[in-house]
Structure 1
Amino acid sequence: MRQSLQLRMGQQLTMTPQLQQAIRLLQLSTLDLQQEIQEALDSNPLLEVDESDSDPETHSSDQEKNGKDDSRDDTQTDNQEVEAISDYEMDSDSALTKETLSDELAMDVTWDEYMSAAPAASSGPMPEDETIYQGETTETLHEYLMWQLELTPFSPTDRGIAVAIVEAIDDNGTLTLSTEDILESLNDGNSGEPIELDEVEAVLKRIQLFDPIGIGARTLQECLCIQLNQFDPNTPWLNETKMILNEHIDLLASRDYRTLMKKTKLKENDLKEVMTLIHTLNPKPASSIIREESEYVIPDVSVKKVKGRWVVELNPDCMPKIRVNDHYAAMSRSVKSSTDSQFIRSHLQEAKWFIKSLESRNETLMKVTNCIVQQQQAFFEHGPEAMRPMVLNDVAEMVEMHESTISRVTTQKYMHTPRGIFELKYFFSSHVSTENGGECSSTAIRALIKKLIAAENTAKPLSDSKIADILAEQGIKVARRTIAKYRESLAIPPSNQRKSLI
């Protein structure tokens, strides 16, 4: 085998740590970004929060002007750094080396221009109507029931039975074991007098009267009947309601009101009164005790109409306003120790790159958001029914970035609008061809379906086929199975489950 020496020329992309940091910050949500900033402040002594009283610079831009302006400015330099990851994923021939990034770093000597545009977030006062003690008695349903059990006079035997029953109640408030199973578990290993089934049933009835009423029921029928038993005997339609729950609950569940009226010999108006009484009951009594924790969303940008035009602004409370400490930065030229000088210089470079990455993130977010607002003006004017079909590639071509970059920018980023808070991903949807050759957004079709169902006659709800026919009359041809898919995505039950007399 003969050895030879050959010279080849090629290009490849070098992923520097600074570029990786810019990409990571770009895809972080607001809460994650705040945590990242705090970690950077804790680890880098040259970074500090700017607590000056000067008004923060407002990053706002007119979206129409942004759509028409083709000029090239310094902001594209930052965007190219973030865009490089997209070229890396697509194996582009463009090369971004560490030397190029270092040259850009060396050209910047003014630290103040890298200060973030937003001050530190502040929490507002608690609303006056906030219920401070609501749900604070106990942490879980089990603890709440045990707290009531301790306040209830039980004999030692009955207390043991009550504890076994409470432990068999799940988070939905349903008794997961039969009384026979509870009796068997209590008698196993019991050296004293055996417990009878009647004793377990008697204790269960007392548990079911705990707050909330109906807790510990074995079936939905039993839960509703327990609640009805607490009504005043003179309550109108009480006996008829008990009769329907005890004898015809299957017809009630299937909403077969015609057969129900035939078997109970009740007229339609009478059955409406019964249904009104049933709707006052709570089929899930444990829901009043167990509450899901609220999830809070901090919008990254806000959109408002100023002088007839929609304007995009960064949320000034998204992140603290940080900068490089000038005193420590100047020490790099005055310290005598080479170790100290190298320490300051390395942290100074990291601080500058971190602030530069934050600015790049804000610039990219503003550019993409302005493009979205420009394309979806009809949504802001008329609502979801006017949403235009748009995919990530459409925005990528307009802002001259890669589709993967647009995906990062729009993930877990939220926009505050006069119509509510929406994730940026909400404004992207597939298209459906219309009869006249145009296109309609799938989001707009969902909004139309929701509007039609909200206005339907509950006694005769619209079927999926009927909704498809109504949309076809408006020039939107959608298959019945597509309507069913969109309806399910909106958590709307089928027509037979939406039928109601009241």
Structure 2
Amino acid sequence: MKPRLQVTLGQQLVMTPQLQQAIRLLQMSAIELEAELAEAVESNPLLDWVEAGGQEGASGGDAAPDAGAGEQAGHDDGPSPDEWDHGEAWQQRTGPADPDDEYAPAEQVAGSESLQDHLLWQLHLGPMSPRDRQIAVALIEAIDDDGYLREAPETVVAGLDGPAPSDAEIQAVLAQVQRFDPVGVGARDLSECLCLQLDVLGPDTPGRDIALRLAGSALERLPRMEPAALAAELGCGPGDVTTAIALLRSLDPRPGAALGGVSGDTYVSPDVVIWRQGGVWRVGLSDSMRPRVHIHRGYEGMIRHASTADASYLKGHLQEARWLLRSLEARGETLLKVTRCLVREQAGFLEFGDGALRPLTLREVAAEIGLHESTVSRAIARKYARTPRGTIPLRAFFASGVGAGTGGETSSTAIQSMIRKLVDAEDPRKPLSDARLASALKEAGVPVARRTVAKYREAMGIASSQDRVRMA
């Protein structure tokens, strides 16, 4: 068969460096973002800090637009172009101007989120049988700080109550855990970790199929073999192998590292501000979220007069600076879009507290605002909102649902709040048993089984009715 040239048209999904950077910045906490910006300013001469009271517009239009304008909760429109061009207007709209507006002081100390916390939160958002949930909790608790399940799953679940789960049960639950964010978590080795990350990419991603083959069977030989040798073994071109290797290098070999190994309390800075003005809930980015870097005008102007080598050097850094600022802009816009949706869906929670928190999942939010579930998950990970109820994590706006007698659903958080109120109001000499608590909830239109009440009561640290008896 004679070699020949052939031109074909097709569509491909390419994860560009800019997209990878935007995804990485999106899932960073405010503290991590600050460190990232400090490193960028230090390594890129075209970037400089915005001085106190300075305007981002000093970059001549290369800085990210001010995406933090407060928004009416009932609308999803962004600020007007005029508002974006004025840093002063942005600052005024990051918090209420009227002292009568409901706005609580920021609570600066919050418990930091571990990898296990993040995974367990996702676990409780979705439907699962009690048995499968028990297996999933055991598997999650065995995952290390890098995101790997180093022990054999059969060993991890060996100590569970009841009959030993079958291999099929364990593998089915592990497959569900491995679909949680961050992608690649729960893998038993590097090969599986990379394959899990490749699986979520579109089938048209350049190099994906070959990368899957390399990750599954030839990962340990990659450092020792030339692309040409691998291409001959796989029956493809050297260019295809190079593309696949580049795709593998873009993946995260330690998906849990960003969340793992964190303990104790940490100081947090709110990412968004939620306040009520004139009876309307409004949303804005906090001051700490406003990009405080811009492109240095002096160095930018030198490009036109520099030598060829110097101009090439400066142009490269200029492009990197522009990518960073655009990624920061996209980060702020995504965070605002997600938070506006949360405020629309959970206005009752902001108004009345946990008892009014309605069931809400990542899938519902993603469908409403037109984003992928993983994007929503990254947007809320380790992000906090300053609200009239204090500074709370954005994940507090989500809750799993329990069927209610009215045909709708009541969130598990709301049910726990109802149980807490019933216990607080009980006669200490005749505390309510789990069965009586379940009966009271049923009368309130929330039919919940006694064992479910017991589970929620234990989760809240409330003792049994026998241990709550007080004679005095």
Q: What TM-score, normalized to structure 2?
A: 0.56
Report how far residue 328 of structure 1 moved. Answer: 0.4
- Picking from 438, 458, 461, the partner of 1:488 is 458
Maintained 8 Å contact 2:354/2:414? yes
Instruction: Look up the SS of the partner of 1:497 in the other structure.
Output: coil
Verify the 8 A CA contact 1:435 1:475 in the aligned structure 2.
yes
Contact 2:274 2:281 in 1 (8 A): yes
Shift of 1:52: 4.6
Q: After superposition, where does 1:238-317 map in structure 2 within 5 Å? A: 294-317=265-288
CA distance in 1, matches of 2:51, 2:11: 45
Residue type of the alignment partner of 2:312: Q
The AA in structure 1 aligned to 2:288 is D
CA distance in 2, matches of 1:3, 1:459: 91
Identity %: 44
CA distance change for structure 1 residues 477 and 376 in 2, over 3 Å: closer, same or farther?
same
Amino acid at match of 1:491: G
AA in 1 matched with 2:362: L
Q: Which residue of 1 aligns with 2:12?
A: 12
Partner of 1:247: none
Structure 1 residue runs of 5 or longer lacking an equivalent are 75-111, 120-291
Aligned pairs for 1:218-233 (under 5 A) are: none
The 3 A distance-change label for structure 1 pair 414 and 24 is same
1:391: which partner in 2?
361
Shift of 1:318: 3.9
Q: Retained in 2: the 8 A contact 1:114–1:356?
A: no
Q: CA deviation at 1:363?
A: 0.8
Q: Secondary structure at the match of 1:20?
A: helix
Distance 1:58 1:12 in 2: 30
Matched, 1:500 2:434: no
Matches of 2:16 and 2:89 in 1, distance apart? 23
* 2:41 match: 41
Q: 2:412 is matched with which residue: 425, 442, 460?
A: 442
C-alpha deviations, 1:228-280, integer Å up to 9, x for none?
xxxxxxxxxxxxxxxxxxxxxxxxxxxxxxxxxxxxxxxxxxxxxxxxxxxxx
Map Cα deviations across residues 353-393 of structure 1 (whole Å, 9 max, x no partner). 11111111011101110111011111122211111211112
Q: CA deviation at 1:493?
A: 2.8
Does structure 2 conserve the Cα–Cα contact (< 8 Å) formed by 1:34 and 1:319?
Answer: no
Secondary structure, counterpart of 2:467 in structure 1: helix
Mapped pair 1:359 → 2:368: no
Q: CA deviation at 1:59?
A: 2.1
Instruction: State the Cα distance separating 1:4 from its structure 2 match.
Output: 7.0
- Secondary structure, aligned partner of 1:495: coil
Q: Against the structure 1 CA distance between its residues 115 and 305, is the aligned structure 2 distance closer, same or farther, given a 3 Å change threshold?
A: closer
Question: 1:462 aligns to what?
Answer: 432
**Larger Rg belongs to:** 1
Q: Which residue of 2 aligns with 1:377?
A: 347
Q: Would you say the 8 A contact 2:276–2:282 is kept in 1?
A: yes
- Specify the alignment match of 2:393 in structure 1: 423
Return the alpha-carbon distance in structure 2 between the equivalents of residues 55 and 358 of structure 1. Answer: 16
What is aligned with 2:72?
A: 63
- Determine if contact 1:392/1:403 at 8 Å carries over to the other structure: yes
Per the alignment, residue 159 of structure 1 pairs with none
280, 299, 319: which one aligns with 1:349: 319
SS in 1 for 2:281: strand
Instruction: Give the C-alpha shift of residue 319 in structure 1.
Output: 5.5
Aligned Cα RMSD in Å? Answer: 3.2
Taking structure 1 as the reference length, the TM-score comes to 0.53
Tell me whether 51-60 or 399-408 shows the greater mean CA deviation: 51-60
Write the distance in 2 (CA, Å) between the matches of 1:114 and 1:354.
19
Mean Cα deviation higher: 367-376 or 390-399: 390-399
- Counterpart pick for 2:302 among 297, 321, 331: 331
Distance in 1 (CA, whole Å) between partners of 2:287 and 2:316 is 30
**Distance in 2, Cα, partners of 1:39 & 1:414:** 23
Secondary structure of the 1:422 match is strand
1:117 and 1:316 in contact (8 A); partners too: no
Paired residue secondary structure (2:303): helix
Partners of 1:48 and 1:322 within 8 A in 2: yes
Deviations 1:430-452 (A, max 9, x none): 22221121221111111111222
Amino acid at match of 1:421: T
* CA distance in 2: counterparts of 1:43 and 1:117, whole angstroms: 28
Aligned to 1:53: 53
Q: Distance in 1 between the 2:436 and 2:279 partners?
A: 39
- Cα distance 1:10–1:439, how it changes in 2: closer, same or farther (>3 A)? same
Q: Secondary structure at the match of 1:379?
A: helix
Contact 1:116 1:323 in 2 (8 A): no
Distance 1:322 1:2, change over 3 A: closer
| Gap change, CA 1:315 and 1:114, over 3 Å in 2 | closer
SS at match of 2:385: strand
Structure 2 unaligned spans of 5+: 57-65, 93-262
Q: CA deviation at 1:24?
A: 0.2
User: For the structure 1 residues 31 and 497, does the alpha-carbon distance in structure 2 shift closer, same or farther, using more than 3 Å as the test?
Assistant: farther
**In 2, distance between residues paired with 1:306 and 1:113?**
22
Aligned to 2:344, the other structure's residue is in SS state: helix
**Corresponding residue SS for 2:360:** coil
> Are the equivalent residues in 1 in contact too, given 2:69–2:90 (CA < 8 A)?
no
Q: Is the 8 A contact 2:55 2:87 kept in 1?
A: no
Q: Which moved more, 1:49-58 or 1:377-386?
A: 49-58
